[in-house]
Amino acid sequence: MAQSYVLSHLRALEAESIHILRETAAQFCNPVLLYSIGKDSSVLVHLARKAFYPGKLPFPLLHIDTTYEYPEMIEFRDRFTKEIGAELRVYTNQEAINAGANPYDLGTAKCCHLLRTRALVEGLKEGNYDAAIGGGRRDEEKSRAKERVFSFRDKAGRWEPRNQRPELWNFYNGAVNLGESIRVFPLSNWTENDVWRYIELENIPVVPLYFAKPREVIVRGQTLIPLQSNVKIFDGEQTETVNCRMRTLGCTPCSGAIRSEARTSGSIIEELVSFRRSERENRVIDHDQEGSMELKKREGYF
Amino acid sequence: MSITTQAKTVTLAHFTAPGDELPLLRMSTAGSVDDGKSTLIGRLLFDTKTVLEDHLDDVSKSKVNRASRGLDLSLLTDGLRAEREQGITIDVAYRYFSTARRKFIVADTPGHEQYTRNMATGASTSDLAVILIDARKGFLAQSRRHAFISWLLGVRTLVFAINKMDLVGFSRQIFEQIREQSNTLLSLLDDVHVHFIPVSALDGDNVVIKSERMPWYDGPPLLDILETARPSIDVAALPLRFPVQTVIRPDPDFRGFAGQLASGHLRLGDEVTALPGGQKSRVARIVTFDGDLEEAFAPMSVTLVLEDERDIARGDMLVATSKVACQAQTVEATVVWMSEEPLFAGRSCLIQQGPRVVSARVSRILHRWDVERLETRVASSLSLNEIGVLEIEAAEPLLFDPYRENRATGGFIVVHRISNLTLGAGLIERESENISECGPLSPEERLCLRGHSGAWVDLSKVQECADALERALLNVHLHVVRTEQPELRRLGLIVLTFGLHEGTPDVVVDGNDLRGAIEAIRAKTTLDTLHAFGEGEGI
Ligand SMILES: Nc1nc2c(ncn2[C@@H]2O[C@H](COP(=O)(O)OP(=O)(O)OP(=O)(O)O)[C@@H](O)[C@H]2O)c(=O)[nH]1
Ligand SMILES: [Mg+2]
């Protein structure tokens, strides 16, 4: 019988990610899945369910809540995690919030450092996690293209890009000493296009903000900021109603929407083909300076 | 009935590619420093319209530009600040692109000798290597070294791209000369497909589009070769190898072995043998989240249920009974050494083969490869980036196929017992015939093989934490036993006692601070080892 033993592209990516997730669960005492509520996180959680089926997820999900996220995201988070029976933990840098940290007074770079980077490092320390699984992809940004699947972090949570452990074949060395940890990136080899095609193939629920509809926004430079209770309108700014959607999710002042008519994952995939600009472009924080993502990552950002 | 016994089913077509889809091609670059590897990859991305406008803006706005004209396309892959500042590639960059015909993963690797280990990392998974050669410099020692390492690591299609043809007047003679220079190397490498192409990465000649400036070249441009290349081997056609990653036991009715087929395929009812040990059973279920399958093939990730209760754990391997894998404690392996600290015979280490981690010792260095002359030499040590053939004695059997026969099961990494760094990459050649002069085990050798010294841990005050403690210690590969014989610590064991004994325990656990206890035990056993063997390198 002639039989083609070739996996389709998405199934090959899926098999690889499942392998990585199983390695993580087996090699570490206390792993956690960093759940950012975005589409990559949705895919990651879906893959984790597949990896351990018919068993339950062997690790909790951790959300670093900056308190500046879109309310739709929090609603989605609570519903989705409950539906799949996952254990959700939430961490906020309350100290910084109490001290008045906000993007308007501190600027986005500093705010992001306190409410995301610091919060992440602190949250991981508080939970004593020795591995943190994230949805980062190598196609997202130039310094990520250099990162290992199992990426070592020293006791202070720092990444040393010039001295990473060689990572050969699909053998992942997750051995760490006390206080050190590994960031695990099961989606390393996925592209944005793969993620959407997989969401469509598997019917994975994602936050409705990803789909286009008429929304009231502030047009700020190139960026459209959907109107939310916690968004500040500056003098002279107007709001208008625009058909738009989010390409990446983050905090309200930092991640903008794009003009789009794509209301389904199918039409998003079509739209992607025509895109000539990257998804992170609408994120204010990545552009603060040349190589800024690398600097953030060295401090512990995901 | 529970979810674990009630199975929905799914067909294999749910996972396979539609008939005409070419499998993804993994490729890596190789060659000496500044030969134009990153520029070539940048050119491929640019000419296949993969580069997004804002990334291109970043490149044109960058303070650095080393290209003699136009954009510096190497900046598309040299993403680290240090790389841009120094104008060299330091670590592998993985980039993704696709054409109408197929998808590609490109590993752009560094040419600098100091970073050879990163080049090997990129080559370990690739099907095809593009080896760049600067037309002005010809076939350098580093070009040879990289071609050789790529081949050792199992890359079976080598594309020699003679680059910077624009700087040598597009000379056919120079191209032919370089082609001749590579003959000695190629005569040593069997089973390879070789291509030679004259290119200019900077201008794009013969990269995506055939160059009009070299009418004498009648072959295809680089992209054509990439689009039609065959992956190194068809892993699904090799014998079944299924390394067990974890055991899934959600309820007493279900016990499944989760893993990814490293090679081969299997069907319901197939007889499999569990290594080490050799117990046999048959495949009762092939479970996935999407439904039960009747068959599966590499590289699918599945969960297997066997017909009989078998004692199988992470690190074991299920193999085809009709063609079992090798099982040996002493093997010969080619190793690329990746640590600044040189390797000497006698060194103890951990050997990791996927999910299997065993304690081992390098018993002999058989020889070292001289990659400039492609000859072997007698050697007593291996320094950073050197390649040698070693004899390795493991404390438990290694499960493998010779690397040349099966890339998925013939490799291993060498891991430092204390710093946990990855020190080298090994390719198993064969079981070593030479059973080494063993003799009685000395206490030093025993400690060396165990990787830590012994300790007596007194749990008489808090017996309830024994399970958690034992598990945590086992997890970090320490040899721990529960017995009321504290003197066994002298054999390098970590002895957990519950009763009262004479003598002074090394660690007394008297509270619920488990982490503190583990730290105390590790400090005790690690430091003593260091002391005993003078291995004072970076913890
Ligand atoms: N004239 C000319 N210059 C080229 C060509 N290809 C690359 N260069 C130049 O050669 C220099 C080195 O190019 P890179 O692409 O960084 O070389 P590399 O091989 O990636 O270097 P490492 O990764 O550090 O080993 C740069 O200044 C390029 O602009 C070419 O075809 N023609
Ligand atoms: Mg380079």
Rounded Cα–Cα distance for residues A169 and B411 (Å): 8
Which strands sit side by side in the sheet containing A31-34, from one edge to the other? A88-91, A61-64, A31-34, A131-133, A181-184, A150-153
Residue of B58, B95, B234 with shortest CB distance to A145: B95
Rounded Cα–Cα distance for residues B518 and B480 (Å): 12
* Three-state SS letters, chain A: CCCCCCECHHHHHHHHHHHHHHHHHHHCCCEEEECCCCHHHHHHHHHHHHHHCCCCCCCCEEEECCCCECHHHHHHHHHHHHHCCCCEEEECCHHHHHCCCCHHHHCHHHHHHHHHHHHHHHHHHHCCCCEEECCCCCCCCCCHHHCCCEEEECCCCCCCHHHCCCCCCCCCCCCCCCCCEEEECCCCCCCHHHHHHHHHHHCCCCCHHHCCEEEEEEEECCEEEECCCCCCCCCCCCEEEEEEEECCCCECCCECEEECCCCCHHHHHHHHHHCCCCHHHHECHHHCCCCHHHHHHHHCCC
CB proximity A283 to B under 8 Å:
no
CB proximity B539 to A under 8 Å:
yes
Amino acid symbol at B132: L
pLDDT at B164: 98
Whether residue B8 is predicted with pLDDT greater than 70 in this model: the reply is yes
β-pair partners for B367: B389
Instruction: Return the DSSP state at B417.
Output: T
- d(CA B110, ligand 2 centre) in Å: 5
Amino acid symbol at A23: E
Nearest ligand to the C-alpha atom of residue B88: 1
Inter-helix orientation angle A39-52/A192-202, to 10°: 60
Q: Is A76 in contact with A41 (CB distance < 8 Å)?
A: no
What is the residue extent of each domain of chain B? 2-228, 235-320, 326-431, 443-525
Max mean pLDDT range (B88-92, B140-144, B302-306): B302-306
pLDDT at B532: 35
pLDDT digits (tens, 9 = 90+) for A149-185: 999 999 888 888 888 999 999 999 999 999 899 999 9
To probe the interface with A, which of B242, B288, B413 has the most A CB atoms within 10 Å?
Answer: B413
Residue of A15, A167, A278 with shortest CB distance to B55: A278
Instruction: Indicate the average pLDDT of chain A.
Output: 87
Q: What is the mean pLDDT of residues A9-18?
A: 97
Instruction: Indicate the average pLDDT of chain B.
Output: 89
pLDDT at B70: 82
Would you tell me how many other CB atoms lie within 10 Å of the CB of residue B460?
Answer: 14
Alpha-carbon radius of gyration of chain A: 19
pLDDT at B50: 83
**The CA-based dihedral angle spanning residues A104, A110, A111, A116, taken in that order and rounded to the nearest 10 degrees:** 160
Rounded Cα–Cα distance for residues B31 and B91 (Å): 14
Mutate to test the pocket of ligand 1, among B74, B146, B199 (most ligand atoms within 8 A of CB): B74
Q: Which residues contact B45 (CB under 8 A, 6 or more apart)?
A: B51, B73, B76, B95, B97
Hey, CA dihedral for B13, B19, B24, B25, is it positive or negative? Answer: positive
pLDDT digits (tens, 9 = 90+) for B320-352: 999 999 999 999 999 999 999 999 998 999 999
Nearest CA to ligand 1 atom 8: B36
Q: What is the mean pLDDT of residues B33-39?
A: 95
CB proximity A7 to B under 8 Å:
yes
pLDDT at B531: 35
Rounded Cα–Cα distance for residues B80 and B288 (Å): 40
How distant is the Cα of A279 from the closest Cα of chain B, in angstroms?
Answer: 10
**Could you give the C-alpha distances from B199 to A294, B2, B65, B165, B524, in angstroms and in order?**
33, 63, 21, 6, 60
Q: Minimal CA–CA distance to B26: which of B137, B112, B109?
A: B109
Amino acid symbol at B72: D
Q: Higher model confidence: residue B147 or residue A109?
A: B147
pLDDT digits (tens, 9 = 90+) for B373-432: 888 899 889 999 999 999 999 999 999 999 999 999 999 999 999 999 999 999 999 999
Q: Minimal CA–CA distance to B185: which of B126, B133, B120?
A: B133
* Three-state SS letters, A113-180: HHHHHHHHHHHHHHCCCCEEECCCCCCCCCCHHHCCCEEEECCCCCCCHHHCCCCCCCCCCCCCCCCC
Q: Which residues contact A271 (CB under 8 A, 6 or more apart)?
A: A260, A261, A262
pLDDT digits (tens, 9 = 90+) for B107-156: 999 999 889 999 999 999 999 999 999 999 999 989 999 999 999 999 99
Whether residue B12 is predicted with pLDDT greater than 90 in this model: the reply is yes
Cis status, amide bond into B276, omega within 30 of 0: yes
Rounded Cα–Cα distance for residues B417 and B537 (Å): 11
pLDDT at B408: 95
* CATH label, A9-195+291-299, candidates 3.40.50.2300, 3.40.50.620, 3.20.20.80, 3.40.50.720: 3.40.50.620
- d(CA B14, ligand 1 centre) in Å: 44
* Three-state SS letters, B130-154: EEEEECCCCCCHHHHHHHHHHHHCC
Rounded Cα–Cα distance for residues A252 and A282 (Å): 12
Q: Is B303 in contact with B291 (CB distance < 8 Å)?
A: no
* H/E stretch holding B172: helix B172-181
pLDDT at B537: 27
Q: Which chain B positions have a beta carbon within 8 Å of A182's beta carbon?
A: none
- Whole-prediction pTM value? 0.85
Q: What is the mean pLDDT of residues A54-81?
A: 93
Listed by number, the residues of chain A in 103-132 with a beta carbon closer than 8 Å to a beta carbon of chain B are 128
Q: What is the mean pLDDT of residues A31-60?
A: 96
pLDDT digits (tens, 9 = 90+) for B209-238: 999 999 999 999 999 999 999 877 789 999
Domain B235-320 has what CATH class? Answer: mainly beta
- Ramachandran bin of B413, using left for φ above 0, alpha for ψ from -120 to 50, beta for the remaining angles: beta
Residues of CATH 3.40.50.620 domain(s) within chain A?
A: 9-195+291-299
End-to-end Cα separation, chain A, in angstroms: 48
Pairing label, strands A31-34, A131-133: parallel
Q: DSSP 3-state assignment of B338?
A: coil
To probe the interface with B, which of A19, A20, A160, A162 has the most B CB atoms within 10 Å?
Answer: A19
Hey, CA dihedral for B400, B402, B406, B410, is it positive or negative? Answer: positive
Q: Which residues contact A92 (CB under 8 A, 6 or more apart)?
A: A64, A65, A66, A67, A115, A119
Whose tokens are 């007394």? That residue is B508
CB proximity A154 to B under 8 Å:
no
Q: Minimal CA–CA distance to A163: which of B215, B419, B479?
A: B419
Residues in the ligand 1 pocket, defined by CB under 6 Å: B 33-39, 66-68, 74, 88-89, 110-112, 132, 163-164, 166-167, 200-202
Whether residue B180 is predicted with pLDDT greater than 50 in this model: the reply is yes
pLDDT at B93: 93
Confidence band (pLDDT; 50, 70, 90) for A227? Answer: confident
Q: What is the mean pLDDT of residues A22-27?
A: 98
Angle at B263 between CA B259 and CA B265, to 5 degrees: 85
Residue of B103, B260, B422 with shortest CB distance to A19: B260
**Could you give the C-alpha distances from A291 to A276, B36, B56, B507, in angstroms and in order?**
21, 23, 14, 48
How distant is the Cα of A71 from the closest Cα of chain B, in angstroms?
Answer: 30
Q: Which chain B positions have a beta carbon within 8 Å of A2's beta carbon?
A: none
Whether residue B47 is predicted with pLDDT greater than 50 in this model: the reply is yes
Q: Is A80 in contact with A205 (CB distance < 8 Å)?
A: yes
Nearest ligand to the C-alpha atom of residue B95: 2
Determine, for residues B420 and A176 on separate chains, whether the beta-carbon distance falls below 8 Å.
yes
Q: What is the mean pLDDT of residues B288-307?
A: 97
CB proximity A234 to B under 8 Å:
no
How distant is the Cα of B1 from the closest Cα of chain A, in angstroms?
Answer: 14
Half-sphere exposure of B242 (CA within 13 A, CB side): 33
Determine, for residues A277 and B16 on separate chains, whether the beta-carbon distance falls below 8 Å.
no
* Three-state SS letters, B259-285: EECCECEEECCCEEEEECCCEEEEEEE
Mutate to test the pocket of ligand 1, among B202, B207, B208, B213 (most ligand atoms within 8 A of CB): B202
- d(CA B22, ligand 1 centre) in Å: 31
β-pair partners for B508: B458
pLDDT at B527: 43
| Superfamily holding B326-431 | Translation factors (2.40.30.10)
Q: Which residues contact A272 (CB under 8 A, 6 or more apart)?
A: A192, A193, A196
Q: Minimal CA–CA distance to B115: which of B92, B86, B137?
A: B92
Rounded Cα–Cα distance for residues B521 and B517 (Å): 6
Confidence band (pLDDT; 50, 70, 90) for B62? Answer: confident
pLDDT at B538: 24
β-pair partners for B430: B332
Pairing label, strands B295-297, B326-337: unpaired
CB proximity A53 to B under 8 Å:
yes
Q: Minimal CA–CA distance to B478: which of B427, B538, B434, B524?
A: B524
CB proximity B519 to A under 8 Å:
yes
β-pair partners for B480: B494
Rounded Cα–Cα distance for residues A226 and A216 (Å): 6
Structure tokens at B15: 């996972």
Determine, for residues A12 and B82 on separate chains, whether the beta-carbon distance falls below 8 Å.
no
- Ramachandran bin of A201, using left for φ above 0, alpha for ψ from -120 to 50, beta for the remaining angles: alpha
pLDDT at A143: 83
Q: Is B106 in contact with B41 (CB distance < 8 Å)?
A: yes
User: Can you spell out the DSSP letters for B206-218?
Assistant: TTTB--SS-TT--
CB proximity A51 to B under 8 Å:
yes
Confidence band (pLDDT; 50, 70, 90) for B449? Answer: low
Q: Distance between alpha carbon A18 and the CA centroid of its chain, in Å?
A: 18
| Superfamily holding B2-228 | P-loop containing nucleotide triphosphate hydrolases (3.40.50.300)
Determine, for residues B16 and A11 on separate chains, whether the beta-carbon distance falls below 8 Å.
yes
What percent of chain A is modeled with pLDDT above 70? 90
β-pair partners for B495: B456, B481
Confidence band (pLDDT; 50, 70, 90) for B55? Answer: confident
